[in-house]
Amino acid sequence: MAAPAVGSGGAALTGRSLQRQLQRSNRLRRLQAAALVAPLLLYLLLFFLWPIAGMLWRSIDNPELRQVMPQTASLIQGWEGQDLPDEAVLASFAAELRQSYQDKTLAVAAKRLAYESPGFRSLMFAAARALPETPEGSWRATLTGLDPKWGEPLTWAIIQRAAAPWTPIYLLAAIDHRLDANGGIVAAPADQAIYLGIFLRTFWIALVVTVLCLLLGYPVAYQLAALPPRQSNLLLILVLLPFWTSLLVRTAAWVVLLQREGVINDLLIKLGLIGEPLQLVYNRFGVYVAMTHILLPFMILPLYSVMRGLPPHYMRAAASLGAGPVRAFWRVYLPQTVPGIGAGCLLVFILAIGYYITPALIGGANDQMVSYFVAFFTNQTINWGMASALGAVLLLATLLLFALYARLVGIDRLKLG
């Protein structure tokens, strides 16, 4: 495209120097372009990619024991797993156990060990309280005297594993698995194996919401696209206004609407349609309604933009060839809107699987999605490894879907409003 513009340069330029000049100017432009994009890239690297990479790292990071008991953590790596670790390791363990109890850092290590075996917290604290300064005989005998568990190789195997630089336990737990005594991967016990179910629930809620959005969004987009621009722009405001209204505002409004003594129940009772108020909120129904409401514009807008671009004469041609309206719609119109359907559905689905606020405020305990548990482990139990592992799996799912979106729809189609 640049050729004709430079072509006017005149006959003084030979072909070769022209080419060189063109190359130079292209290079310059690329440099300028890179310089313009660089600040944003640098910014995203520092304040977005780096934090996310940090989160991913935390899903395998294993720092607790190495921080609290550095010497034991390095010594125990040499243990072969036969019998008990030798006396030097046990002595170091005893010293660091007592020290960390005094420094009040023991809880961090105990909590980490309890992830692998729940009894560990009390085991560690009981030992720390009762441990003498010098061994009675050997440390081996002293520890085993406090609790026979200290005489079991399994106890030390868990400590050895917790002292390694990284651990798979969080990622395994996120897919309902764990390490057994020998370090083999086995299914998690039933009362802990909940995360696959939660991922499944997350995808299921997202799917239902996507389908509902499609069912509700398609006729609206169709109708809007069929109207003259002036009218459709007016009605489009009804789509865009909720779209740009705060998510919290809409969530709050749905709570008000759906409560037991809320607007909808009041109305239904006054109309005599129901005698007793219905349970519409703090359950799955409420979550579906509110999420569909919030995500519906993301379906309508791409559908609308595809339908707007469709030439109307195809439908007319189909009708004139004798196809009934239903057949014409089904065979001619619908196939042409498939790109819009794909774009809308993928976008709604991608956004839905990450939802947190709406289910948290409108759902019950078993309507919470993966994001809720990421927040729960981050803020409530401070099990940051688990939060990161669940986050990593959720991120992976999102990125795969996003890549699919980029491939099928194209990123430049991601326009909002």
Partner 1 sequence: MARPAGHASFAMRLGHYGLWAVTLLILFFLILPILIIVPLSFSAGTFLTFPLPGLSLRWYQEFFSSGPWQLALRNSLIVASATTVLATVLGTLAALGMTRARLPAPTLLMGLIVSPMVVPLVIVAVGVYFAYAPFGLTGSLLGLTLAHTVLAVPFVVITVSATLQGFDPNQIRAGASLGAPPATVFFRIVLPLILPGVISGALFAFVTSFDEVVVALFLTGPAERTLPRQMFNGIRENISPIIAAAASMLILLSVLLLTVLELLRRRNERLRGIKA
Partner 2 sequence: MRAKPWQIGMLTAVCGALLALGPVRSPAAADLTVTSWGGSYQDAQRSIYFEPFKQASGLDLIEDNWNGGVGAIRAKVEGGGQEWDVVQVEAEELVLGCEEGLYEPIDWSALGGKEKFIEAAVNDCGVGAIVWSTAVSYDADKIPGDGPKSWADFWDVTKFPGKRGLRRGPKYTLEFALMADGAKPSEVYDLLRTPAGVDRAFAKLDQIKDDVIWWEAGAQPIQLLGSGEVIMTSAYNGRISAANREEKRNFKVVWPESIYAVDSWVILKNSPHKESALKFIEFASRPENQSKLPNSIAYGVTNKDAAGQIDKALLQDLPTAPENLEQSLQLDTEFWVENTDALTERFAAWSAQ
Q: Kindly identify the residues of this chain, within the stretch 62-101, that bind partner 2 according to CB under 8 A.
A: none
Per CB under 8 A, does 223 bind partner 2?
no
Residues 375, 248: contact at Cβ < 8 Å? no
| Cβ distance to partner 1 smaller for residue 134 or 379 | 379
* 9 part of the interface to partner 2, by CB under 8 A: no
Q: Does 103 bind partner 2 (CB under 8 A)?
A: yes
Is residue 23 at the binding interface for partner 2, with CB under 8 A as the rule? Answer: no
Nearer to partner 1, 179 or 301 (CB): 301
Please, which residue, 85 or 297, has the CB nearer to partner 1?
A: 297
Least Å from the CB of residue 208 to partner 1: 16
396 binds, among partner 2, partner 1, none (CB under 5 to 8 A by kind): none
252 binds, among partner 1, partner 2, none (CB under 5 to 8 A by kind): partner 1
- Residues 383 and 374: their CA atoms lie apart, in Å, by 9
What residues have CB less than 8 Å from 404, skipping those under 6 apart?
A: 346
> 245: which 2 tokens?
């209204």
Q: Which two tokens stand for residue 131?
A: 């441990």
Q: Binding partner of residue 175 among partner 2, partner 1, none, CB under 5 to 8 Å per kind? A: none
Site string for partner 2, 38-67 (x = CB under 8 A): -x----------------------------
Within 180-312, residue ranges assigned H as helices are: 195-226, 229-243, 247-258, 263-270, 284-308
DSSP 8-state class, residue 413? G
In angstroms, give the least distance from the CB of 78 to partner 2: 30
Task: Annotate each residue in 120-159 with x if it binds partner 2 (CB under 8 A) or - if it does not, as one string.
Answer: -xx--x----------------------------------
User: 5 or 190, CB closer to partner 1?
Assistant: 5
Are the C-beta atoms of residues 68 and 97 closer than 8 Å to each other? no
For position 394 contacting partner 2 by CB under 8 A, the verdict is no
- 3-state DSSP helix/strand/coil percent for the chain, to nearest 5? 75, 0, 25
Q: Which two tokens stand for residue 170?
A: 């969080």
Closest by CA position to 102, among listed 77, 124, 128: 128
Burial 33-43, CB ≥16 within 10 A → b, else e:
eeeeeeeeeee
Tell the smallest beta-carbon distance from residue 27 to partner 2 (Å): 10
Q: Is 20 in the site for partner 2 (CB under 8 A)?
A: no
Instruction: Give the amino acid at 319.
Output: A
118 binds, among partner 2, partner 1, none (CB under 5 to 8 A by kind): partner 2
CA–CA gap between residue 290 and residue 281 (Å, rounded): 10
Q: Among residues 17, 19, 23, 32, which is the contact residue for partner 2, using CB under 8 A? A: 32
- 87 versus 103: smaller Cβ distance to partner 2: 103
Q: What is the DSSP string of 262-281?
A: SHHHHHHHHTTS-SS----S
CA 37, CA 30: separation in Å to the nearest integer? 11
Tell me the C-alpha distance between 370 and 118, whole Å. Answer: 24
Of the two residues 30 and 129, which places its CB atom closer to partner 1 in the complex? 30
Question: Does residue 408 touch partner 2 according to CB under 8 A?
Answer: no
Q: Which residues contact 305 (CB under 8 A, 6 or more apart)?
A: 340, 415
Instruction: Decide: is 364 part of the binding site for partner 2 (CB under 8 A).
Output: yes
Please enumerate in sequence order all residues whose Cβ is within 8 A of that of 241, keeping only pairs 6 or more positions apart, or say none.
none
Which of partner 1, partner 2, none interacts with 197 (beta carbon under 5 to 8 A by kind)?
partner 2
> Which residues ranging from 254 to 313 are in contact with partner 2 (CB under 8 A)?
259-261, 277, 279, 282
Asked if 205 contacts 288 with a C-beta cutoff of 8 angstroms, the reply is yes
Q: Applying CB under 8 A, which residues contact partner 2? A: 25, 28-29, 32, 35-36, 39, 103-105, 107-108, 111, 114, 118, 121-122, 125, 191-192, 194, 197-198, 259-261, 277, 279, 282, 364-366, 368, 373, 376, 378-383
